[in-house]
Structure 1
């Protein structure tokens, strides 16, 4: 049985769904210069004791305020273990990991959601076949690692974004599409995800479950990548940063705003934008 409970009261009138990497949090390289930042950056994630992700202190304070006015739901391609490394200023009631394939309710994984995700992912080619498209280049000098995530999708990590061959991306993208999946490039990472297993599908399912017998909550979304695009289009209003995969493609939508800033300053601007629309 699902762990999702219908919303009650004014707090549930707005659902603010926010991507994490390169939308809310940033590596040192992706954070950009100090220009446009109200304060310096603080570390919000460590890996093996080393700083990994950053955010502005102002964005974290504003995110706390936003959580008091709306239901903030992190929506990320990260695995559960990767998500749990991030020290968010408040613990969200709900979080969607694995590109919508895993629901955490008060930090506990929902087994009914796992069943739905497995059935959805099965509509594409089997995971070993998708993984094989990436493992075919695992021995290349530009490839750092190839991994499967949560038994649902897979990804490749390159040593540097500029090292990923454009021809390989084009050929692999065509093969991925033929296999019923989606290819997305996010910095040094190349994701291959079953097409039906999307952030939008997970988020809209959560929205319906939260509504119960009542009216579905108003939906605000923020994200930067191709994997975020469907949920941005599904939102009542959305925002994307002036950087990342969507910005490189000059992607937009009728109800999608674009930040003036890029890098970590855009992350702060995004939280302000969301807060302005629930205040």
Structure 2
């Protein structure tokens, strides 16, 4: 049995800003997420067709830094292709048919004891000039924090220094667009996917992702790839990469996964208890 475990934002779905940056014909994509009447993200129609095929032939597992609530805003994954399993909160939560798997949640809670607590981390962040330049600071449940930066804040970032500063506290740092994430080291996308791989007896896992937080997801998979525009490629240029950036990268990735999954039997009805 095979699985395709993929990051979502800037890998399979795209904001209007990203579409404008890398280009796409309006008839080639459709709206898939809104918030308070505002259009948030879009999916390529070609990617959507590929994902329907992938979902038929293997496990399709969305893997996202989004919280569960943010993930559930994406209409395509709630109405058209409805995955049995999804990983949210950067690996902090594994959903089975929309509900968290308790065993995994308990494991994560125990692992979080090994790094600086959120309250203390927020105090340390408040001391940084970077925080003063942030337009907003948000927390995701009690798991992680991210800063929404303006142009001035973005220009002042030394990514290597920020990454090292966070690592000293047992946390990870990743810049994704205007959002600078600080995430406890135990929250790891690949570890969540690897748990599902073992529990579901999956033989091969194919993955995709664009951010530094996706490095292990890409590197540990049987086949992993980053879109050509991916942040992770700036740090690890030897990873597999698409030829095209932007929304065309999603088409390229999913077309290749369809080929990898060709001639496979229909996935078994293997449900975690």
With the shorter chain as reference, the TM-score category is 0.7 to 0.9
Output the aligned Cα RMSD: 2.1
**Contact 1:36–1:261 (CA<8 Å) still a contact in 2?**
no
SS in 2 for 1:244: coil
Question: Which of residues 33, 46, 57 is equivalent to 1:69?
Answer: 57
TM-score with structure 2 setting the length? 0.87
Say whether residues 1:100 and 2:94 are aligned partners: no
Say whether residues 1:197 and 2:180 are aligned partners: no
Rounded Cα–Cα distance in structure 2 between residues aligned with 1:38 and 1:260:
21
- Give 5+ residue unaligned stretches, structure 2: 263-273
Question: Which of residues 231, 242, 265 is equivalent to 2:248?
Answer: 265
Change (3 A) 1:158 1:34: closer
Deviations 1:105-149 (A, max 9, x none): 001122222111111222211111222343345762x41211221
Change (3 A) 1:207 1:150: farther
Q: CA deviation at 1:37?
A: 6.0
Question: Which of residues 78, 97, 112 is equivalent to 1:121?
Answer: 112
Q: CA deviation at 1:251?
A: 2.3
Change (3 A) 1:240 1:34: closer
Rounded Cα–Cα distance in structure 2 between residues aligned with 1:14 and 1:37:
32
TM-score with structure 1 setting the length? 0.85
Rounded Cα–Cα distance in structure 2 between residues aligned with 1:139 and 1:125:
18
Say whether residues 1:240 and 2:226 are aligned partners: yes
Tell me which residue corresponds to 2:270: none
Tell me which residue corresponds to 2:34: 46
Question: Which of residues 186, 197, 205 is equivalent to 1:219?
Answer: 205
Aligned length, in residue pairs:
258
**Contact 1:32–1:263 (CA<8 Å) still a contact in 2?**
no
Tell me which residue corresponds to 2:196: 206
Change (3 A) 1:161 1:275: farther
SS in 1 for 2:231: helix
**Contact 2:172–2:182 (CA<8 Å) still a contact in 1?**
yes
- Give 5+ residue unaligned stretches, structure 1: 1-12
Change (3 A) 1:39 1:273: farther
Rounded Cα–Cα distance in structure 1 between residues aligned with 2:250 and 2:142:
30
**Contact 2:2–2:58 (CA<8 Å) still a contact in 1?**
yes
**Contact 2:64–2:89 (CA<8 Å) still a contact in 1?**
yes
